[in-house]
Amino acid sequence: MNYKASVGLEVHVELLTQTKIFCSCKNEFGGKENTRCCPVCMGFPGTLPVLNEKAVELCVRAGLALNCKINEAFCMARKNYFYPDLPKAYQISQDKKPVCENGFLDTKYGRVGILNIHIEEDAAKLVHKDGKTLVDYNRSGVPLIEIVTAPDIHSKEQVNEFLQNLKKLLKSISVSDCNMQEGSLRCDVNISMQKENDNTLGERCEYKNINTFKGAVNAVEFEIKRQTEILNFGGKVERETRKWDDIKKESTILRKKENIADYCYFEEPDIPLIKISPETLIKIKETMPENSHQKKQRYMKEFLLSDYDAELLSQNYSELFEEAVKADANAKETANIILGNISKLINEGKKLTFGGDKLAELLLLQDKKIINKTIAKQVLEKMFESGESPEKIVSENNLAQITDTEKIKEIVLKTLSENQKAVLEYKQGKKQTFSFLLGKALEKSEKRANVQLLQEILKSMLDNKKAV
């Protein structure tokens, strides 16, 4: 019997707002415990929540980028349960009328439906120390969006790609920094299995709070195997909440079906119905940054870049690329140098100390043949070191290309006289020695000779060489 897996994700993403969702405490990561909290986010008696408009805006942005319908009006709801990290013993979230509904995100394995995106507050953080558990309220009240997918994911590979695509998208529109190490992206995973041609979903198991992509992928792999085994033995999969251990690569039961929580949801009375006017929606659309997907499409269309180049540039180097092109650099050349030498240097740990305008300058010097490709590479390295303009670097270091034919002839002559053996070998028919001689000549010119001219002059001198 063949079984097909259906996976749905609930991704919690911390928003890039200045302040928390219901109070004016700063929304930051780290720092000394309990230094960014107040009576509101600590749930003191008599305090009331005041909804952060920026959080709503960022939720709408996410909804727009994920092709959702943005509801004209939405309301908040209380999700009630007791836990030491939940100061009010309820989380203000959304239930019946979320901000965004019915969107999708494409992966190469297929389209994944987004059921809804809703805003909610984060809980405090529990810290275990010396056998005690302490509560740090810095995180309490940080604004989150929860992105709930349909069970449209069918493999661990698709889980990975979905999460990667989601992260790229949300980063590109400045909704979140999606930094999993800092906890700004976590997900719950729901997995069920059904017979190959069956459309009814099987019983699902839930994994909560997985905080690495690898963990999500591994959990899915494990669970698919676990459920398939049960079904193959003729057993029944039970509804459970499980905990994933990414070190042991196994999961354990947290809660069985009978103990699945009833959160007693009801509409939050302290926050009235929030309306999003058409004008507000337009403004959000107009002021939101171009998302990475849109950027990539634009690069492909406008600059005729390949899918591969456009993908890489839009993800990591869009600012540098666009600045250079704006300063009149050739798009293809810019793409090449960024994805070539520049990314190589960055991967080696060098820091980008200059902007697109200086990059454009460098490419122009190359175009005008004032420097050749080899020199350009040197200049680039110096640019990384000092952040100086390429023109300055070239003139200060006397790196300008040699294009004077007389000078080049001089260099070639010198090279030939110093490498008589090679010349002889060439004359005897070993055509490979040409590259050797070219290399030597180039070295003699301190790599500054225009390569094309050098080649021409060297060839003509070798072929027409009369005894010197």
| Interface residue with another protein, options 30, 131, 234, 269 (CB under 8 A) | 269
Smaller CB distance to another protein: residue 271 or 345? Answer: 271
For position 254 contacting another protein by CB under 8 A, the verdict is no
Work out how close the CB of 169 gets to another protein at its nearest, in angstroms, rounded to a whole number: 31
Nearest distance in Å: CB 263, another protein: 8
Segment lying near another protein (by CB under 8 A), choices 39-47, 95-103, 190-198, 236-244: 39-47
Stretch that binds another protein, among 259-267, 342-350, 356-364, 451-459 (CB under 8 A): 259-267
Query: Does 51 interact with another protein (rule: CB under 8 A)?
Result: yes
Query: Is 271 or 413 the residue whose CB approaches another protein more closely?
Result: 271
Residue for token pair 């309301």: 75
* Residue nearer to another protein on the CB measure, 22 or 354: 22
Check: CB of residue 246 under 8 Å from CB of residue 218. Answer: yes
Applying CB under 8 A, the span of 46-54, 58-66, 337-345, 376-384 interacting with another protein comes to 46-54
Closer residue to another protein in complex, CB, 11/77: 77
Q: Which one of residues 50, 127, 253, 424 is an interface residue with another protein (CB under 8 A)?
A: 50
Q: Is 35 in the site for another protein (CB under 8 A)?
A: no
- Shortest spacing between CB 301 and another protein, in angstroms: 45
**446 part of the interface to another protein, by CB under 8 A:** no
Does residue 266 interact with another protein by CB under 8 A? yes
Alpha carbon distances (Å) from 362 to 124, 352, 357, 375, 447: 51, 15, 9, 10, 17
Q: Min. distance of Cβ 87 from another protein in angstroms?
A: 6
Q: Which among 85, 90, 213 is positioned nearest to 137, based on CA atoms?
A: 85
Binding mask 107-146 for another protein (x = CB under 8 A): --------------------------x-x-----------
User: Taking CB under 8 A as the rule, does residue 73 contact another protein?
Assistant: no
The rounded distance, in Å, linking the Cα atoms of 397 and 379 is 9
Residue choice 231, 271, 352, 364 for contact with another protein (CB under 8 A): 271
Residue 78 binding another protein, by CB under 8 A: yes
Per rule CB under 8 A, is residue 253 in the interface with another protein?
no
Binders of another protein: how many residues, by CB under 8 A?
29
Give the residue with the Cβ less far from another protein, 136 or 152. 136
The smaller minimum CB distance to another protein, of residues 86 and 325, is found at 86
The residue (of 88 and 167) whose beta carbon lies closer to another protein is 88
Nearer to another protein, 83 or 235 (CB): 83
Stretch that binds another protein, among 238-246, 269-277, 298-306, 445-453 (CB under 8 A): 269-277
- Give which of 258, 205, 260 is closest to 228, Cα–Cα: 205
Where does this chain bind another protein (CB under 8 A)? 39, 42-51, 78, 80, 82, 84, 87-90, 133, 135, 262, 264-266, 269-272
